[in-house]
Structure formats: structure tokens, C-alpha cells
Amino acid sequence: MFPARIEHYARPRTVAEALAALSRCEPGEAIFLAGGQSAMQAIKSRMLRPQALVDLQAVAELKGITLTGGALTIGAMTRYADIARDARLGGAFGALTDAASHVGDRQVRNRGTIGGSVCWNYVAACTPTAVLATGGRMNLGATSGATRSLAADDFLLGPLETARQDDELLLSVSWDAPAARTGSAYAKWGLVTDALPVIGVGVSVTQDASGKCVQARVALAGLAGGAQRGPAAEVLLMGSAGDAATIDAAFAALAAEADTHSDLSADADYRRQLIQSLGREVAQRAFDRARA
Amino acid sequence: MAATPQDMLGARLPRKEDLRLVTGTGKYLADILLPGMLHAVFVRSEYAHARIRGIDTSEALALHGVVAVYTGIDFKDTVKPMPQPVVQPNLPARYPTFWPLAIDKVKHHGEPVALVIARDKYVAVDAAELVVVDYEELTPVLDPERALEDGSPLVHEEDGSNEIFAMTLTGGLTEEEQQRNADAVERIFQGADIVVKERFRVHRTGITPMEPRGVLCDWNDADGLTAWITTQRPHIDRLALIDLLDIPGEQVRVIAPRDQGGGFGVKAPFYRENLAIAYAARALKRPVRWIESRYESLMNVGQERDQVNYLEVAARKDGKLLALRNRGVADNGVGTTGVYWGFVMPFLGAVEMPNAYTWEAGDVRLRVATTNKASLTPSRAFGHFPTRFAIERAVDMVARRVGMEPSALRRMNLVPSLPYTSVTNEYYDSGDFLRVWDNLMAQVDLPAFRAEQAAARAAGRYLGIGFGCGVELSGVASELLVPMENQPGYGAATVRLDPRGKVLVFGGDAPGGQGHETTTAQVVASLFGIQASDVVVTTGDTGTTPFGSGSIGARAGSYFVSAVAEACGELKDKITRILAHDLQIEASVQHFEFKNGEVVYLGDRSKRKSFRDAVERIIMFPINMPEGEVGGLEYTAFFEAAKPMICFNADCCIVEVNVDTGDFEIRRWVTSEDVGTVINPNIVDGQMHGAIVQGLSNAMFEEFVYDERGQQMSADFEHYKLATAADVPDIEITYATTPCPHTPLGTRGIGEGRPSSVPGALTNAVCDALAPFGIEIAELPLRPNLVWRKLREARGEG
């Protein structure tokens, strides 16, 4: 585990400095280093051979959790541990704390970041799935000074692939103020405690005053295609009362149509079982939080 | 709470090693730096089985900072090939011939093909990428049963067969005698009320020490070779280097660093990498170091188990076990590992198959096949993890068939008194299996559990209880170790007294974190009546320690401390002889007490001398000595018990299974142990915790996986899953000890075989929970996915 030669290393203190450092590199030859929990392994094993590293750890403006009138912004360099222990993030944002609480181990949670995780977009990862389930938006800044905002659905393209361009830096992930009676949850199953998800399920629901489900987002982790929405479950949850029978039917439908695969951790049929059993538990928790 | 010296045996002393280990001041192999040291990287095969058409090292050699690049052919006429007697068991087998690097053909994914030596590790890795190997891929041999069929591709073509080893433990020396015994077994099966017959499969799993392998070799023409190796057996490694490199014995010194991050068997073989590095250091006359990466480690070592056992058990309907018949097929992997070659582990596993039960007869046979996988390497519970799983599961199946509690059936069939010789001719020296068992059952209220289980089932919840037990080696006697590994079993220790009253102990074994410094110090302190802090233990340096076969097979608590005790006894004799002379009394050692730093004459307690003064007088002032005595206080003792020795343990596990998902939770794990006299309960508890966690992790999580081309898919910890603390239950360790009558202190060696009874107990508990579904599981790993599939099949959904 000895990296190939890295020609340049920059440790900017501001976003402007970070983008300037990036602009000095050939496109695609620099790698932003966030928490380093995935990228450093890839670099040390020479799967990645960057010419330059732009280390974002000293960029204070990329860190922090802001709640303004219910709208949430999480800086890209905010650590899992900070998200996990933020007592304000229940209810509509419960999926985010659920996911952040069980990424890796303590060491990983104290180094790894939300931005690093969504930009890496590993094939089986909790954070992209939780962000997708809750409908987060990715706010990007480019070396040209331009900024843009992308929905998670448009940002997460597939395993290790995102819509971020080589000249862009993820600044933050943000959420509009959630509607009243919104709840979300996330859970995963792995062979050992806090392992990467064999299957992970994130659910966000909104109920109207009568208890009818008027918004439902379901996302899955652990499929070969990476984090993805589960529309088969969403359509059944929509308009329902969030009752157990509907939830069962929704995740049975999702499990039936999910493109599961067999690997060292579980076979394709068992992944379907996990989608059902985890989905049931997670959706129930999301509705409970919506009602709370 | 300061223990007095006399309480030292059995005191819960904190480990002497721990302060440096937990404060980051331990000194491991990678902490040893020599001036001018070069760094080595191996280029490893990308294929499981391929012919090497050519290797181009020119670009690698041209890279600035590269000192040398070796390929297999460089070794062919310069080092002796393995096998050589020192690294070859005394068992008849088809030993493949091999050199440090592959020549002509690669035989497993990860096999070393070239060796790059450079000024630093970065350059070495860069250069390794520039070595171009031209391969012609061949069909890999991956299934051991198919490997034994006619027409299978061959791993080692010159052998003409993939069967590296086969044996029968049916009894008898000739085929006729063996057939007679097999016929007798068959007659028992014919007349038996119950026959259980099952194919038991245990996957490839083993052990992953925290510190991987490594070696640092230094050569100079005056002194020869000094090799620092992460090893459990420095004296064996030294002999191997002498013989294979053809260096005179006085010119080779091997040092196992004092701190090693675990061995568990992985650091017991003699590895081809070590030979290559020693060769390079001699050729270059520069220190050369190789530190294994985790990726290399997971691809090359720690892989064990991997066996199919076709087991039949004959029993009476009252639960009495009558006979066992087993046909084992083990996957040896490539077999290019010195000392063990792979098959030595399944060999011992077959020997240990009868476990603690009485059988009238047994017909146990084993075939071992070479495949294009990494060689089996020893991994704690040496060899018998698969056979123990099979027998413990089969015993439960018999109990279910005859309608008995598995625990009652076990007790009924336990060997009632010792010594005893098993049907595979394994000698069990001492202990009290029934007392250990009864102690276990006293921890578990079985009727209450059955009532709770019934109530839970009525509510749709599935609880289960499982049992298992294990006879384990306590050290390895010469009687077993000479035929098995061509090495002696005795323990050796030098005890040197210091004129200032301190004690230095030297042992030739090389521990990897077991706490030998502490346990040895406690033994010495208790015998001399001094404090454990007055004792310093040095291990692992062939330049300063007496010959030892290594830290293997639970030798410390059995053989090594016994040698220490005997050496202390000799020195106490001498001290008291001279003290009696000085005091002008007629007395010998039994008339004196060594206590609280003093040597006291029991006939008149005013006649006493401080330990320090008594020692200093003999070492520094050897005048006015008794007739025939000379000065000095140092003694080397060799301890060998007349017969092999054992320890014994029993496990009980309670689980709850979720019958929708197949998930199961271990709610309780309780044990009963006969470890003989306990030197330090903290250390014994720790050994048991570690071994049981390993057994659970092996049974549920860990698995080395090869794809259909023989590519290793589990070479990182994302895929080779280890249990974490959160994945294992609290473990309740209880003791029912019988002091071993064959060791001076009554101690037994522990820890080596301990993981092996775990998978049976766990799986028995899961199957007990699922008894309403009639589910019997005969394969590992035991994972929710498997349990779920069995449930679906049982419900007719599969």
C-alpha cells in the first residue's frame, strides 16, 4: 500500500483557495481529499493515481450544519460524527442521522465526511442513499466562479460516478424546509456490525392532516447499480395511511422488481428478503417520525 | 492489591507487556531500522494456474533506485529446493519441489514470481509494476474432490497426481489388518439401531494476525546472516536457513522480535519469502527488509479448514455411541509451505476426530488434494476445526434421532476416566471430563430453558440451546511432533540468576502477545519467593536462548513453564546446599523456604539470608565452598513429559432465531474449562475469549473465496469479514480444573485448539431452535442467508 508518485499537494484554507488550487491542475488530474476514508485507500492501492491532492480538511467554510427556518444545509466537509450527534436532526432528517451513526467505525465516523461520501458514491454506501431518500440537493462551485445546484437524483449517476465535473467542488448538501408531518429513516443490514450495506433502505414520507401519505421517497443501497430510488414502493405508499399492510405490500413489490445480485455477502433472493424486512422496519419508523 | 510472592501462582497480575503495547512503545519488526537497509517487494502471480512464457525485468532494473530484480531461475542453482528434511514432516507424501519464486509455472493467485529490491518501498513498488510477466493461462484445479478424479489437470505435473497425502486411521499396519478393522466397524454399523450419515462441509477460513509477516536480513562476511523474522519458531527457521542456503551453522542467527502482533499458527511455517530475502541480503551484502501488506497476507497465509467430511455414526437407541466412519477430503491448496505443506493440519484433524467420546471402533480415512489455491497454513485449532464441527453436529443428530437431550447424550458418552487412548490412537493423559461437563450444566438451568423455549415457540419466537466440547493438545510431545514435523517437543528454558537478586529467563520459543513474560515471571517469582517485577524474560533469539521448537500447540503452559520450574528447582537446590554449608547445618532444599525475598531455614527461622545475598555469594564470592561445588547460578532445563498431554473444555450457547429473516442472536455463551493449575486467570480468560471469538468469527463471517478462475476475491477486510466486539456476546468463562499430574506445577497448555468446539455448539443451538422445522445444518459458514434458505426449503418455498 504505497501510492504512486503524487506531484502536488495543496492544503487550502478557503473555498476560493481550493478552487484556485484545482484550476492550477490539468483537468481530472487532481483529487480533492475530504475525510480520506475511501480515497486514501484507493490511492494507496494505486487504483487512483492522482497528480495532485487538494486537501480540504482546513477549509472551515465547508464545515457545519445550519438550520434556517427548517431548511437544512450541511457543509460538504462535515463529519459523520457531527451529523450523527446533532440533536436537531430528527423527524424529516432522521434518515441522515440513522445513516451517519453507523458508517464504518468510530474512527471512520470521526474522519469521513458527507461530501466525500456522496462524491465517491460507492456501490454500497449509506450516505448517498440517505441523501437520495430525503431529497437532498448538491451545491457545487466551479473554478470559473459559477455555481449550480443538482438534485441527488441527478447527481448520483451510478457506482463511483456523479454529475460533478472535474472543475467543480461540492460545497454543501441542502434540503428545503420539510413539510409538516414529514419523517425519514434509514437502516442497513450487513454481516458484521456497521459493515457496508448488503442492503440499505432509506424512506422519507409526508402525511397530510388526515394521515394520508402525500409524499414518499424510497431509496436502496446494496444493488449493483448503486444508490437508487424505489418507485415501486413509492407509488404504493403514496395516498395510503402508512398502515402495516400497505407498507408490506410496498416493499414486497419493490423486492419483487429490484435487480438484486449474488455476491460474497448474500445471494440475490436473500437481498430481496432484506429489502422486504428492512423496508418494513424503516418505513414504519419514517411514518412514526412523521406522526411524532 | 499487591500479591505476595507465594500467591503469585494464580494471581490476576496485570500483564508486564501491556504498558508498552498500549502506549505505542512496543518494538515490532517494522520498528527495526538498519543503516543502508533496502526494501523488497514481491511481484505476485495474477493467475491461479499459468505457464510463465517469459519475464522481462529490464524496465524495472532501469528505474532509478532499483538495486536488484530476481526471478525464479536466479535461485535454481543457488539455494536448495524445498523439500529438505528440516522443513519436511516425517509423513509419506508427494512433496512438491519448489524454490522461493515460481519457475516455469505459477500455481496460485498471489504466488511470488519476482523480487524487486530498491532503496525505498515506493521505488520498489514502482519497479514491481514494471516487471512484465508473459503468462499462458491454464485450467485451474479448484475443487478438491474433482482434483482427485482421473483426468483432472495437475497442480504439480511431475507428481502425476493431485493427491498429496492420504492416510487411514482405521488401525493396523497392513492393508489386511486395516480391512479387518474396517470390516469390524462395518459389522457394528450393520447391527446398530441408529445410523446418522451426513456430508459436512467447512469453508476456507482461518486467522489474520494483526501484524502480517515480515523479515529483515543482514549479512556481513565476518558474522554471516542475522535474520529478524516475524515467527513463532526462530530455531526452526535458523535450521532451515542453514540448510537451504548452505551456510555454516555458526553464521546464522534468527531473532523473533519481542513484540509480535499475533501468530496463531500463521507464523509457524518456513516461508519461501524469508528464504528469498536472506538470499538477497547475502548476495547484495546489504540489509534487506520485506514487510508483507495486508493484501498479500490475505492472499497467501492464514487459510485453513476447507474440508468435506462424509461422516457416519452408529449408535444404540439408548444413546450409546458405537462407531464412527469418516471419509475426509481436504483442500490442501498448492502445498508449497515449508514444515506443514498443508496436509499436516487435516492429518491432525483426522486424528482428533473422535473427540472426548468413547467409541468401540472407528474407521477414519483422509485424502488431501492439491489445488491452485494458497497453501493451507496453520491457524489456531490446528486441523480439527472441520472434523470437530462434523462430530459435534453428528452427536446432536443422534440425540434428535433417539429423542434424548444432546447434553445428556454427551455426558453418557464422555470418556469416564483417564488416561484413555482414542480409536484413532490419540492419548488423553489426564483430567476429569465428567466434572467439567457437570460444571457446565450447573451454569445452565436446562429444564428452565426448555420451559422458556416452549413458551417462546407458542408466541412465535424460536430459542435454541447448543453444546459442544473439545479435547485439545496441551503442548505437543516429541512422540507426536517428531513423526508429524520432524522436530522435538520438549520445552527448554535457561534461568540465570543475577548477582543483584534478579532473574533472567531465556526461552527459544517466540510468543506473539500471549503474555509469556507475565506468566513466566509469576512462575519464577512463586518458586523463588520474589516479585514478578524482579524477573525478565527473553524469548526468540537463537543467539541467546536454548533450542525450542517454537510457540506452537499450547507449549507455553505445558512445556516451557515446566522447564522454567525445573531449572528454578535445580538452582534452589544449589542455593540451599551452599547456604546449609555456610550456616553449618545439615539440611537440603526441603528444609528451606523461599519467601518474601528471603531464604529461611525451617528448622530455625532465625537462620535466614536474603535471596539477593544468597545469590550474590554464590555468583560473586565463590570461596569457602562446599566440597565439589563451584560458583555461578545458571541452569538450562529440558522438560519432556512421557506422554502427550491434553486440556478439555465444554461450551453452551443459547440463540434466538428470527424465522422470517434467518438472523440469529447469541443470547448467552457459557463455558467450562479444565486448564490445569492457573498461573494468571486474566491471561487464561483472555485466551478463552480470543479463541471463542475466533471460532465465532470463523463460523459466521470469515471466508476466503476464490472465483471460478481461481482469483482470490477476499484479499481485503471489506470482503474478508472479521467479528467486531459488537458482533459477539459476553462470554462467561467458568473453571473445573484438574491439575495435570505430568507437569511440575500441574499446569496445562491452553488456547491452541480452543476455537474448534465453537462452530458445533453454535450450529447445534441454531438447529435446536429450528427443530420444529426439522432443519439440520451441515455446512459452514453459518449465516442468516443460509438459515433463511433452509427455512424456505423446510416450508416448501425453496
Question: For residue B797, what pLDDT is reported?
Answer: 86
For residue B658, what is the nearest residue in chain A, using CA coordinates?
A277
CA distance B511 to chain A (A): 27
| pLDDT 10s digits, A202-239 | 999 999 999 999 999 999 999 999 999 999 999 999 99
CA distance A41 to chain B (A): 11
Q: Do B785 and A267 touch (CB under 8 A)?
A: yes
Contacts of B279 by beta carbon, 8 Å cutoff, 6+ apart: B70, B75, B78, B79, B100, B245
Q: Could you tell me if A220 and A145 lie in one domain?
A: no
Q: Could you tell me if A40 and A69 lie in one domain?
A: no
Give me the amino acid identity at A243: D
Question: For residue B57, what pLDDT is reported?
Answer: 98
User: Apex CA B325: angle with CA B320 and CA B326, to 5°?
Assistant: 130
Question: For residue B4, what pLDDT is reported?
Answer: 46
Q: Do A270 and B721 touch (CB under 8 A)?
A: no
Question: For residue B8, what pLDDT is reported?
Answer: 87
Q: Could you tell me if A190 and A285 lie in one domain?
A: yes
Q: Could you tell me if A99 and A116 lie in one domain?
A: yes
Interface test with A, best of B661, B716, B790 (most A CBs within 10 A): B661
> Residues for chain A: how many in total?
292
User: Apex CA B290: angle with CA B286 and CA B296, to 5°?
Assistant: 160
CB atoms within 10 A of CB B443: 14
Can you list the residues of chain A whose pLDDT is less than 70? none
- The residues facing A206 across adjacent strands are A182, A215
Query: Grid coordinates 407498507 are at which residue?
Result: A247
| Of the partner residues B713, B722, B789, the one whose CB lies closest to the CB of residue A264 | B713
CA–CA gap between residue B409 and residue B404 (Å, rounded): 6
CA distance B468 to chain A (A): 24
Task: Give the residue ranges of DSSP H helices in B252-330.
Answer: 272-284, 294-300
Question: For residue A28, what pLDDT is reported?
Answer: 86
Query: What value does the mean pLDDT take over residues B430-441?
Result: 98
| pLDDT 10s digits, B536-575 | 999 999 999 999 999 999 999 999 999 999 999 999 999 9
| Of the partner residues B121, B294, B714, the one whose CB lies closest to the CB of residue A2 | B121
- 8 Å CB contact between B587 and B608: no
Chain B positions in Cβ-Cβ contact with residue A1 (cut-off 8 Å) = 293-295
From the list B687, B682, B676, B700, the residue with the least C-alpha distance to B758 is B700
Residue ending a domain, among A146, A175, A204, is: A175
Q: Which helix (H) or strand (E) holds B255?
A: strand B252-255
Mean of the per-residue pLDDT values of chain B: 96
Q: Could you tell me if A97 and A170 lie in one domain?
A: yes
Work out the percent of chain B whose per-residue pLDDT is above 70. Answer: 99
Chain B positions in Cβ-Cβ contact with residue A195 (cut-off 8 Å) = 721
Q: Do B722 and A193 touch (CB under 8 A)?
A: no
Query: What value does the mean pLDDT take over residues B430-435?
Result: 98
Interface test with B, best of A273, A274, A278, A281 (most B CBs within 10 A): A273
CA–CA gap between residue B554 and residue B647 (Å, rounded): 10
CA–CA gap between residue A178 and residue A131 (Å, rounded): 14
CA–CA gap between residue B243 and residue A197 (Å, rounded): 51
Q: Do A192 and B727 touch (CB under 8 A)?
A: yes
| Of the partner residues A2, A3, A264, the one whose CB lies closest to the CB of residue B714 | A264
Q: Do A191 and B783 touch (CB under 8 A)?
A: yes
**How would you classify the pairing of strands A30-33 and A52-55?**
parallel
CA distance B498 to chain A (A): 46
| pLDDT 10s digits, B656-682 | 999 999 999 999 999 999 999 999 999
Chain A positions in Cβ-Cβ contact with residue B718 (cut-off 8 Å) = 196
Q: Could you tell me if A23 and A68 lie in one domain?
A: no
For chain A, give percent helix, strand, coil, nearest 5.
35, 25, 40
Q: Could you tell me if A108 and A165 lie in one domain?
A: yes
Number of domains in chain A: 3
From the list B511, B478, B505, the residue with the least C-alpha distance to B493 is B505
CA distance A277 to chain B (A): 7
Q: Do A270 and B784 touch (CB under 8 A)?
A: yes
Burial grade of B597 (CB within 10 A; 0-12, 13-18, 19 or more)? middle
Q: Three-state SS for B431?
A: coil
| pLDDT 10s digits, B448-469 | 999 999 999 999 999 999 999 9
CATH of residue A238: 3.30.390.50
- 8 Å CB contact between B194 and B314: yes
Q: Do A270 and B700 touch (CB under 8 A)?
A: no
- 8 Å CB contact between B595 and B526: no
CA–CA gap between residue B231 and residue A10 (Å, rounded): 42
Q: What is the grid cell recorded at B19? A: 504498558
Q: Could you tell me if A221 and A265 lie in one domain?
A: yes
Contacts of B380 by beta carbon, 8 Å cutoff, 6+ apart: B207, B264, B265, B691, B694, B751, B752, B753, B754, B755
- The residues facing A200 across adjacent strands are A188, A221
CA–CA gap between residue B15 and residue A94 (Å, rounded): 45
Is residue A130 a part of any domain in this protein? Answer: yes
For residue A273, what is the nearest residue in chain B, using CA coordinates?
B661
CATH of residue A24: 3.30.43.10
Interface of B with A (CB under 8 A): 121-122, 125-126, 129, 293-295, 660-662, 700-701, 703, 705, 713-714, 718-719, 721-724, 726-727, 783-785, 788-789
CB atoms within 10 A of CB B405: 16
Is residue A138 a part of any domain in this protein? Answer: yes
Chain B positions in Cβ-Cβ contact with residue A105 (cut-off 8 Å) = 724
Chain B positions in Cβ-Cβ contact with residue A2 (cut-off 8 Å) = 121-122, 125
Question: For residue B3, what pLDDT is reported?
Answer: 43
CA–CA gap between residue B215 and residue B38 (Å, rounded): 12
**How would you classify the pairing of strands A30-33 and A147-151?**
unpaired
Chain B positions in Cβ-Cβ contact with residue A274 (cut-off 8 Å) = 661
Q: Which helix (H) or strand (E) holds A147?
A: strand A147-151
Q: Is the peptide bond before B248 cis (omega within 30 degrees of 0)?
A: no
Question: For residue B798, what pLDDT is reported?
Answer: 66
- Domain limits for position A18: 8-55
Chain A positions in Cβ-Cβ contact with residue B785 (cut-off 8 Å) = 266-267, 270
Contact status of A273 with chain B (Cβ, < 8 Å) = yes
Give me the amino acid identity at B43: V
CA dihedral B289, B294, B299, B300 (to 10 degrees): 40
Q: Could you tell me if A187 and A114 lie in one domain?
A: no
The reported pTM is 0.97
Q: Could you tell me if A107 and A204 lie in one domain?
A: no
Is residue A2 a part of any domain in this protein? Answer: no
Is residue A94 a part of any domain in this protein? Answer: yes
| pLDDT 10s digits, B51-97 | 999 999 999 999 999 999 999 999 999 999 999 989 999 999 999 99
pLDDT at B399 exceeding the cut of 70: yes
Residue ending a domain, among A175, A202, A221, is: A175
Contact status of A7 with chain B (Cβ, < 8 Å) = no
Work out the percent of chain B whose per-residue pLDDT is above 90. Answer: 96
| pLDDT 10s digits, B223-262 | 999 999 999 999 999 999 999 999 998 899 999 999 999 9
Question: For residue B484, what pLDDT is reported?
Answer: 85
CA distance A142 to chain B (A): 34
User: How far is the first Cα of chain A from the last one, in angstroms, to the nearest whole number?
Assistant: 49
Q: Could you tell me if A169 and A87 lie in one domain?
A: yes
Q: Do A264 and B719 touch (CB under 8 A)?
A: yes
| pLDDT 10s digits, A30-50 | 999 999 999 999 999 999 999
For residue B707, what is the nearest residue in chain A, using CA coordinates?
A264
pLDDT at B162 exceeding the cut of 80: yes
Q: Do B703 and A264 touch (CB under 8 A)?
A: yes
Question: For residue A264, what pLDDT is reported?
Answer: 86
CA–CA gap between residue B768 and residue A43 (Å, rounded): 48
CA–CA gap between residue B399 and residue B415 (Å, rounded): 17
Q: Do B701 and A192 touch (CB under 8 A)?
A: yes
Compute the count of residue pairs across chains A and B with CB atoms less than 8 Å apart: 51
Confidence of residue B172 (pLDDT cuts 50, 70, 90): confident
Chain A positions in Cβ-Cβ contact with residue B662 (cut-off 8 Å) = 270, 273
Q: Could you tell me if A120 and A151 lie in one domain?
A: yes
Contact status of A269 with chain B (Cβ, < 8 Å) = yes
Instruction: Give one DSSP letter per residue of B589-640, joined into a string.
Output: GGGEEEETTEEEETT-TT-EEEHHHHHHHHHH---SPPTT-----EEEEEE-
For residue B713, what is the nearest residue in chain A, using CA coordinates?
A264
| Of the partner residues B122, B126, B701, the one whose CB lies closest to the CB of residue A191 | B701
DSSP category for residue B743: S
| Of the partner residues A2, A196, A273, the one whose CB lies closest to the CB of residue B125 | A2
CA–CA gap between residue B550 and residue B256 (Å, rounded): 11
Is residue A242 a part of any domain in this protein? Answer: yes
CB atoms within 10 A of CB B53: 10
| pLDDT 10s digits, B21-32 | 999 999 999 999
DSSP category for residue B503: E
Contact status of A29 with chain B (Cβ, < 8 Å) = no
pLDDT at B1 exceeding the cut of 50: no
Q: Do A195 and B703 touch (CB under 8 A)?
A: no
Query: What value does the mean pLDDT take over residues B259-287?
Result: 97
Is residue A16 a part of any domain in this protein? Answer: yes
DSSP category for residue B312: E
**How would you classify the pairing of strands A52-55 and A8-10?**
parallel
Residue ending a domain, among A175, A192, A225, is: A175
Contact status of A268 with chain B (Cβ, < 8 Å) = no
CATH of residue A133: 3.30.465.10
Is residue A193 a part of any domain in this protein? Answer: yes
Question: For residue B2, what pLDDT is reported?
Answer: 41
Q: Do A105 and B295 touch (CB under 8 A)?
A: no
Chain A positions in Cβ-Cβ contact with residue B123 (cut-off 8 Å) = none
Contact status of A160 with chain B (Cβ, < 8 Å) = no
Contact status of A47 with chain B (Cβ, < 8 Å) = no
Is residue A1 a part of any domain in this protein? Answer: no
| Of the partner residues A191, A193, A273, the one whose CB lies closest to the CB of residue B661 | A273
Q: Three-state SS for B128?
A: helix
